[in-house]
Amino acid sequence: MSYISLYRKYRPHKFSDVVGQEVVVKILQNSIVENKIGHAYIFSGPRGTGKTSIAKIFAKAVNCLNNKKGDVCGKCDVCNKGQTEEIDIVEIDAASNNGVDEIREIRNNAKLLPSLYKYKVYIIDEVHMLSTSAFNALLKTLEEPPSHVIFILATTEFNKIPITVVSRCQKFDFKKIKTKDIIKRLELILKEENKELDSNIIEFIAKVSDGGLRDAINLLDQVLSLNKEQITLEDVYSLIGYIEDDSIFDLLEQMFVGNITNTLKYLDEYTQSNKNLSFLCGKLIDIVKDIIIYCNTNNYFSKSYEDKLNKFSTIDIDQIIKVSEILLNLQNELRRSSNQKIVFEIYLLRIVLLFNKKEEESPKIESIIEEKEAKKPEIIEKKVEDTPKKEVENNPDNIEKNDDEIKKIRINNAFSGANKELKTKFVDKFDSINDYISQKEYTSLANLLLKSTPEVVSDKNILFTFKKDIDANLFNLNIEEIQKLLKLIYKKKYSIIAITDEEWQDLKKEYINNIKNDVKYEYIEEKVVKKAKNTELQMNMESVFGEELIKEE
Ligand SMILES: [Zn+2]
């Protein structure tokens, strides 16, 4: 008998077996009970959080002949049909079928009635991988969906899906799964498999999987296949290239005293023993986050952990926040890089430089960085000093740079009313911004605005572009103030948004394509998203680390 992976074996087949995602499951079940089923859904969220599993269950549940409170009955012909015999539930992996032909085929087939079921369901996995023409073909179907068809578009990269598609779908956000829920699931699988593992190993697997249940189960699978009598935590460490906390604390200490040689030595050791650098980066971010918490709270952590953090408590908090920002940039770079080690070195050197005050005594530092950057020219210079002021909490109109939905809506709205005459009028007056440079409160905003290009102008919305990523981010973090400044000049309130030149090139292509294909941009109301006011510390940390990381423990 061939081996079935634990992940496939324990994949949930009904809503009641799904781990986490309670909100999503509840809404979907209710929609079935109340017979308010949509024709297009977007399931967006991190990998391994149940998007495809829930899509498959939903596809069965809408068709189940004996539906129980919106969940599958598990007994009828629909529920018992194996995946290979399915005709009316079609799964497509956009990562391997990103062509327009495949989507056209779906379009033609979608018109036909389901062979057996009430609904024909198309699940398109990794939908962001579709080509622009494929998206346009899909859009045609989404505009007038046959009543018997449901599309479920799953994605880990929501920001890559055209707004024209998004606006026609109901969106569900999938959250990372809580560590304690992952532990419960792993324990259940072990029990079913008649296997045993130390609880500290189970806990470790759950934590290291960072909210991805699939990753956790796959790691459990690997660990069990070590086929050892007594599996130890060390076995698991070497399996995944894990680095122990103490070693990472030592590395941090070397960085914070500004010791270049020792910092590089640690990194050499890690790469020589095949340690996992992405993991190391995540861990450094975690510890730096904990240092910030430790410096601002009492008795938040265990005594032994606080003892470790304590040696960093004298470091200036602004410096620590800078460190966290460098590390977050590093994390992004690592995902794209083919030579992780050199990227890692460059970023860690940047941190060391923050703490290395005796520049005249170490003339080599700059040259080391220059030398390394010369080898890796595609790394974008991101000066820490340029980092925008984070004042998100005071300005509800400002958006966080990861707030893709508002960004998409504003871009869409600018396009929906795009008008050349309005643009000319707007640009004509743009130079007046210079008048505000001398006014202290507007100096930095005016300077920033002057670096931008107003690209799309409508009656209510303006889309600005910037050459540099960091300027676009800075702009989006200060939207409310910039809107105020524009109001002074133009005597009216615009909803504004900034993107990079690179993003603009893609958007322009998409726009031209849509116009050619007669796809219209319709104005979308911005929903007022009111965030619960947290303590100031919490908000500060969210702006540095993102909501996900803070909520986790
Ligand atoms: Zn059934």
What CATH number does residue 211 fall under? 1.10.8.60
Domain membership flag for residue 47: yes
Distance of CA 4 from the midpoint of ligand 1 (Å): 25
pLDDT of residue 403: 67
461-466 β-sheet, strand order: 453-457, 461-466, 495-500
Beta bridge partners of 125: 93
Distance of CA 215 from the midpoint of ligand 1 (Å): 29
d(C-alpha 168, C-alpha 315), whole Å: 50
| Regions of the chain short of the pLDDT cut 50 | 359-363, 376-396, 400-402, 528-544, 546-553
- Residue 450: give the domain boundaries: 398-516
Beta bridge partners of 498: 464
Domain membership flag for residue 542: no
Distance of CA 175 from the midpoint of ligand 1 (Å): 28
Domain membership flag for residue 54: yes
Distance of CA 63 from the midpoint of ligand 1 (Å): 7
Residue 187: phi and psi, rounded to 5, are -65, -40
Element (H, E) at 93: strand 89-93
Distance of CA 77 from the midpoint of ligand 1 (Å): 7
Residue where a domain stops, chosen among 139, 173, 207: 173
d(C-alpha 443, C-alpha 437), whole Å: 4
pLDDT of residue 399: 52
d(C-alpha 445, C-alpha 426), whole Å: 18
d(C-alpha 331, C-alpha 278), whole Å: 7
482 and 349 fall within a common domain: no
pLDDT of residue 251: 96
pLDDT of residue 402: 42
Query: Angle of helix 340-355 relative to helix 260-272, nearest 10 degrees?
Result: 160
Torsion sign over Cα 144, 149, 150, 155: negative
For the chain, what is the domain count?
4
49 and 12 fall within a common domain: yes
Distance of CA 10 from the midpoint of ligand 1 (Å): 19
Element (H, E) at 8: helix 6-9
Distance of CA 50 from the midpoint of ligand 1 (Å): 21
Distance of CA 125 from the midpoint of ligand 1 (Å): 24
Distance of CA 5 from the midpoint of ligand 1 (Å): 26
Distance of CA 503 from the midpoint of ligand 1 (Å): 46
Residue where a domain stops, chosen among 485, 501, 516: 516
Distance of CA 71 from the midpoint of ligand 1 (Å): 8
pLDDT digits (tens, 9 = 90+) for 143-179: 888 999 999 999 999 988 999 999 999 999 999 999 9
Domain membership flag for residue 524: no
Task: State how far the alpha carbon of 417 is from the alpha carbons of 99, 345, 412, 440, in Å.
Answer: 31, 47, 9, 34
140 and 28 fall within a common domain: yes
Angle at 347 between CA 342 and CA 348, to 5 degrees: 95
pLDDT of residue 372: 54
72 and 88 fall within a common domain: yes
CB atoms within 10 A of CB 521: 20
Distance of CA 65 from the midpoint of ligand 1 (Å): 5
Angle at 328 between CA 324 and CA 329, to 5 degrees: 120
Beta bridge partners of 124: 92, 153
pTM higher than 0.75: no
Distance of CA 81 from the midpoint of ligand 1 (Å): 10
Residue type, 82: G
Query: Nearest CA to 121 among 12, 54, 39, 45?
Result: 39
Residue 40: phi and psi, rounded to 5, are -150, 130
Distance of CA 67 from the midpoint of ligand 1 (Å): 6
Residue where a domain stops, chosen among 386, 413, 434: 386
Query: Residue ranges of the alpha helices (H) in 22-97?
Result: 22-33, 51-63, 77-80
Distance of CA 118 from the midpoint of ligand 1 (Å): 13
491 and 369 fall within a common domain: no
pLDDT digits (tens, 9 = 90+) for 223-251: 999 888 899 999 999 888 889 889 999 99
pLDDT of residue 347: 92
